[in-house]
Structure 1
Amino acid sequence: MSFAIVCSGLSFAWPDGTPVLDGLDAAFGTGRTGLVGVNGAGKSTLLKLIAGDLAPAAGTVSVEGTVGYLPQDLPLGTARTVADLLGIAAARDALLAIERGEATEANFAAVGDDWDVEERARAELGRLGLGHLDLDRTVATLSGGEGVMVALAALLLARPDVLLLDEPTNNLDLDARRRLYDAVDAWSGVLVLVSHDRGLLDRVDEIADLREGGVRSFGGNLSAYEELLEVEREAAERAVRTAETDVRRQRRELAEAQVKLARRVRYGDKMQETKREPKIVMGNRKRAAQVSAGKHRLLHEDRLAGARDRLDEAADAVRRDDAIRVELPATRVPAGRTVLSVPAPEAPEPGTGTLERLVVQGPERIALTGANGSGKTTLLRGLPKDPATRYLPQRLDVLDDARSVADNVRAVAPSASPNEIRAGLARFLFRGDRADRPAGTLSGGERFRAVLASLLLAEPAPRLLLLDEPTNNLDLASVRQLAEALDAYQGALVVVSHDLPFLRTLGITRWLRLDRRSGLAETEPM
């Protein structure tokens, strides 16, 4: 098949020399491809190289046609308008000027053949649920989710041949996610997307796994990919068990051979002592026995070495991302104990079921949902933070980048001994020298684990966790690790998230929805 994107011998490193990609070969054809891999594997870097935002240190990137790129962190510019973000400001201004009678050559050139640009822009915004936005509205007044959807509308308006999306569901509410899913379903060109959103990845035609410097492609969506990996893992584990059995057998046979050889040596020595045969005959037999013994020993040692090699190969084939292990009994909150009680946000139009106060008791696990711009982040930020309350913002910016991972934890757990801190960090996969690395040098996945460690190992033990979109920018393995850590947490939890599969893994006990008009209210489980 022909490929629209071809990467040959692609290498890239950060200015400090940290390698990201080294001699990567990859190709992407027509259809929807989900690019997956652990944090730090180079997924976002690869998209930037394809888009031309980064230049490779070596190798080439070949792309057929125009490229549209939606990065994780949009450079919105607060003074820009919606029309600017859509890329239609110049053509729209020229149209308005022509309508005012300014029929200049420059204005006609700015419009080109795009006389219906404003109508198409409004139609695209409407299709994405943004029909209420005025084209002259400033970007500064948009929520994060609205900004992402406007940027997506701009790409769809431009109709590129190749569309690159990097974590496009970040900050999107449930309605916006569904509209994004529809747009992806309708895309008929080349699409490569990086995402941790399972609903989105189940809509692709192919999964490309970027791991250990290479890309391996699988036909089908995420669910089919995971089923295949599970089959491969089970086969690999069977191979490990077979190899282990072979190693044990070879060890036993080597030991038995050594016993037999020792017996022969003792027999030869005894024969020589009794001198039942001529000296020259006994000498020849002893030398022959020694040669035979050496060959026999080498044969069994070679077999054992081969069995060990097969075991190592089989063990390497078992793909299992490291899991964090956390025990947090000190975080337990007795049922019925109130850990938070504050007035709920005032509602302009109070509706039935609107809460007057936000009360959190015992080990409740509360999901706070609502449309983009409804004030969920503002609510979390404004909640009182006592020493036993810990807040995790969207950007994971709670670490001192100049300090080591261990020192960051020591700052929030001053009475813990160095051994206690290192034992705690080991459960978050920071073992040995890894705990001494400066936070500013960590990859995305490592930084996430360091933030999680500083959050959960803090003193006093956190009895209330406030999490704002915690799965943003996390790979699938990190989302699983977060769920595992929170499963060990025994305190109260309030989490803002639009990631329904993640929320369902947390054992949510109450669902709340914040609305711009009707305020805070209880809702049915989602």
Structure 2
Amino acid sequence: MVILQNATYIHPNKDVLFQDLQFTLNQQEKIALIGHNGVGKSSLLKIIGGYLPLNSGILSCDSTPYYIPQLFDEYATSTIGDTLAIGDKLKALNAISNGDASIENFDILNDDWDIEERAIEALSSWGLTEMHLDQSFNSLSGGQKVKVFLAGITLHRPELILMDEPSNHLDTKSREQLYRLILDSQASMLIVSHDRTLLNLLELTAELSPKGIQRFGGNFQDFSEQKDLEKNALDQQLQNKEKELRKAKDKEREAAERQNKLNARGKKKQEKAGVARIMMNTLRNKAEGSSAKLKSVHQEKIGGIRQELHELRLNLSDLDQMKFGFEQSATYAGKDLVDVKDINFGYAERLLWSEAVSFKIHHGDRINIQGDNGSGKSTLLRLILKDLEPSNGIIVRAPFSSIYIDQDYSIIQSIKSVYEMAESFNQSGLQEHEIKIRLNRFLFGKETWDKSCLALSGGERMRLLLCCLNIASQAPDIIILDEPTNNLDIQNIEILTAALNDFQGTLLLISHDKQFISDLRIEESIDLNKN
């Protein structure tokens, strides 16, 4: 179905993204394509989809790929019909209906007389019942844009489907519909996603790295278990090498002590024997040379072990290299922070929820706010934070500190450098070198300290924010997260999960990522679909 041979792609800025890549996607295979941010997953999909050219190598596809992008910037001026790739047919059909029976219009339509009805039916199957095919695509929400492309699968029935983060922006109900589509489809699929529920539906996994593409039999869970075995083996190698280094240092010290004792003993004998001064200097120089030679032998061995240890540590994941260590908040466990009593929000007589909302938040709670797109999840967060006041009911708030984290990590100010952003959280008077030590812990080396925050990826913005919270003298009482995993790869989701599990305060979360919710040990929920 898809064959890539010796494929090389070079960015316009001359950076080589991948070189001599080999990859095959066979008939009806469904493969999860995973890898760290920036390794080239999206570019590879665009190359297979025909949107980017290879610099060298061969690409062969047996059928026309249907491509669902992660970003929709190029469709800003398109209609929904254009996005579904039926704009020309709709114009031809409209022209024929208005009396323009030209051969050109009939050729374009190609006897597809019910194209409009089928397109509307496909959109309706994804809940887009009030959409018009001539409506601006850019007027839609993120979730609606994704659904338009998913409706295109129903409309065109492609044999080869490429998806780039298709569950982004989808609520739980729409994700379930996407999962069913993937399971039921007979098409070949190559899917890039950080949604581990989705990844576990696919029977094959391919990891893209600077070394190329490696295929694994089994789903993402199988892949993770295999990686865990490799990690455990690496941990054992590190422990053995560190033990070998300690032994080598002990031997060096013991050998030096023995040599020093021999040299001292020899010197005393020479002095008693009345050896001439010139001979004493010669013997002393010879002893010092022996000591230096012995030291050089041990130093060479220790240097070799250190180099091997360094190379092993390079294989550690970012998560294994990081240190979190949040300062804890000053609020005691179980304290009432927010008491929401029969609230609603809206304008005039049009209220957001059919039933009033009531709940309590205590210090240490971990709560997921659930609901379909448009159910008012973000509005509820703004009410809790006092950015809005309820139309009905009351909210009683105890004094608390909080930090709000959206999917773009907008709290990271683009006008600041990495170091300036970290320094802005320095409330306890840390010295400059101490701030830089913390940045290093979160994988920001000295070459990044002057880098603009504007240039950071989603994962880097997340890590910088975690670093800032680590630098702050006291953790907030509440961390509020609104779809925090949408722009993160799997490794960065694991980093965020580990950090949040180290946090002892209150978590309020909006997320449709079931695995992320489970890993954060969130058992309480506020379901706005019931209101």
Pick aligned residue for 1:201 from 199, 202, 208: 199
Q: 1:279 matched to which residue of 2? A: none
Q: Check whether the contact 1:339–1:464 (CA below 8 A) recurs between aligned residues.
A: no
Pick aligned residue for 1:111 from 69, 94, 109: 109
CA–CA distance in 2 between the matches of 1:271 and 1:466?
A: 77
CA–CA distance in 2 between the matches of 1:203 and 1:330?
A: 40
Q: 2:336 matched to which residue of 1? A: 337
CA–CA distance in 2 between the matches of 1:425 and 1:264?
A: 48
- Aligned AA for 1:369? Q
Q: 2:356 matched to which residue of 1? A: 355
Q: 1:485 matched to which residue of 2? A: 499
TM-score of the aligned structures, taking structure 1 as reference length: 0.78
- Aligned AA for 1:401? S
- Aligned AA for 1:496? I
Q: 2:417 matched to which residue of 1? A: 404
Q: Kindly provide the CA deviation profile for residues 335-361 of structure 1, in whole angstroms up to 9, marking residues without a partner as x.
A: 34334648333676976xx33456544
DSSP-derived class of the 2:215 partner? strand
Give runs of aligned pairs for residues 119-518 of structure 1, distance below 5 A: 119-125=117-123, 129-130=126-127, 132-136=129-133, 138=135, 139=137, 142-155=140-153, 157-160=155-158, 162-212=160-210, 214-250=212-248, 307-308=305-306, 310-319=308-317, 321=319, 322-330=321-329, 332=331, 335-339=334-338, 341=340, 343-345=343-345, 354-357=355-358, 359-381=360-382, 384-385=386-387, 388-411=401-424, 413=425, 415-417=427-429, 419=431, 422=435, 425=439, 428-430=442-444, 432=446, 434-454=448-468, 462-515=476-529
Q: Check whether the contact 2:428–2:472 (CA below 8 A) recurs between aligned residues.
A: no
Q: Kindly tell me: are residues 445 and 63 of structure 1, through their superposed partners in 2, closer, same or farther at Cα, counting changes over 3 Å?
A: farther
Question: Which one is further off, 188-197 or 312-321?
Answer: 312-321
CA–CA distance in 1 between the matches of 2:30 and 2:462?
A: 28
Q: Check whether the contact 1:37–1:210 (CA below 8 A) recurs between aligned residues.
A: yes
Deviation of 1:502 after TM superposition, in Å, equals 1.0
DSSP-derived class of the 1:35 partner? strand
CA–CA distance in 2 between the matches of 1:485 and 1:191?
A: 34
Does 1:29 pair with 2:25? yes
Q: Kindly tell me: are residues 461 and 239 of structure 1, through their superposed partners in 2, closer, same or farther at Cα, counting changes over 3 Å?
A: closer
Q: 1:284 matched to which residue of 2? A: none
Q: Kindly provide the CA deviation profile for residues 25-44 of structure 1, in whole angstroms up to 9, marking residues without a partner as x.
A: 24242222222223333333
DSSP-derived class of the 2:528 partner? strand
DSSP-derived class of the 1:177 partner? helix
Q: Check whether the contact 1:333–1:490 (CA below 8 A) recurs between aligned residues.
A: no
Q: Kindly provide the CA deviation profile for residues 275-332 of structure 1, in whole angstroms up to 9, marking residues without a partner as x.
A: 9xxxxxxxxxxxx999999999887776656555554454445556333403131363
Q: Kindly tell me: are residues 456 and 379 of structure 1, through their superposed partners in 2, closer, same or farther at Cα, counting changes over 3 Å?
A: farther
Q: Check whether the contact 2:93–2:113 (CA below 8 A) recurs between aligned residues.
A: yes
Deviation of 1:274 after TM superposition, in Å, equals 10
Q: Check whether the contact 1:13–1:21 (CA below 8 A) recurs between aligned residues.
A: no
DSSP-derived class of the 2:527 partner? strand
Deviation of 1:76 after TM superposition, in Å, equals 7.5
CA–CA distance in 1 between the matches of 2:464 and 2:293?
A: 54
Deviation of 1:215 after TM superposition, in Å, equals 3.3
Q: Kindly provide the CA deviation profile for residues 105-130 of structure 1, in whole angstroms up to 9, marking residues without a partner as x.
A: 2321221143343354345445x533
Q: Check whether the contact 2:328–2:475 (CA below 8 A) recurs between aligned residues.
A: no
Q: Tell me: higher relative CO, structure 1 or 2? Use CA pairs within 8 A at least 6 residues apart.
A: 1
Deviation of 1:100 after TM superposition, in Å, equals 5.6
Give runs of aligned pairs for residues 33-72 of structure 1, distance below 5 A: 33-54=31-52, 58-60=55-57, 62-65=59-62, 66-72=64-70
CA–CA distance in 2 between the matches of 1:212 and 1:332?
A: 46
Deviation of 1:437 after TM superposition, in Å, equals 2.4
Q: Check whether the contact 1:70–1:151 (CA below 8 A) recurs between aligned residues.
A: yes
Q: 1:282 matched to which residue of 2? A: none
Deviation of 1:371 after TM superposition, in Å, equals 1.4
CA–CA distance in 1 between the matches of 2:268 and 2:503?
A: 71
Q: Check whether the contact 1:326–1:427 (CA below 8 A) recurs between aligned residues.
A: no
Q: Check whether the contact 1:167–1:196 (CA below 8 A) recurs between aligned residues.
A: yes
CA–CA distance in 2 between the matches of 1:361 and 1:125?
A: 43
Q: Kindly tell me: are residues 463 and 270 of structure 1, through their superposed partners in 2, closer, same or farther at Cα, counting changes over 3 Å?
A: closer
Q: Kindly tell me: are residues 300 and 365 of structure 1, through their superposed partners in 2, closer, same or farther at Cα, counting changes over 3 Å?
A: closer
Q: Kindly provide the CA deviation profile for residues 35-56 of structure 1, in whole angstroms up to 9, marking residues without a partner as x.
A: 2223333333443444454456
Question: Which one is further off, 413-422 or 185-194?
Answer: 413-422
Q: Check whether the contact 2:32–2:204 (CA below 8 A) recurs between aligned residues.
A: yes
Structure 2 unaligned regions, length at least 5: 274-285, 389-399
DSSP-derived class of the 2:166 partner? coil
Q: Check whether the contact 1:205–1:219 (CA below 8 A) recurs between aligned residues.
A: yes
CA–CA distance in 1 between the matches of 2:352 and 2:43?
A: 46
Q: Check whether the contact 1:40–1:444 (CA below 8 A) recurs between aligned residues.
A: no
Give runs of aligned pairs for residues 92-103 of structure 1, distance below 5 A: 92-99=90-97, 102-103=100-101
- Aligned AA for 2:141? S
DSSP-derived class of the 2:194 partner? coil
Deviation of 1:439 after TM superposition, in Å, equals 0.5
- Aligned AA for 1:178? E
Q: 1:523 matched to which residue of 2? A: none
CA–CA distance in 2 between the matches of 1:338 and 1:273?
A: 83
Q: Check whether the contact 1:81–1:136 (CA below 8 A) recurs between aligned residues.
A: yes
CA-based RMSD of the aligned residues comes to: 4.4
Structure 1 unaligned regions, length at least 5: 276-287, 521-526
CA–CA distance in 2 between the matches of 1:227 and 1:483?
A: 18
Q: Kindly provide the CA deviation profile for residues 387-427 of structure 1, in whole angstroms up to 9, marking residues without a partner as x.
A: 9343223333333323112323444x475535388266455
Q: 2:279 matched to which residue of 1? A: none
Q: Check whether the contact 1:388–1:460 (CA below 8 A) recurs between aligned residues.
A: no
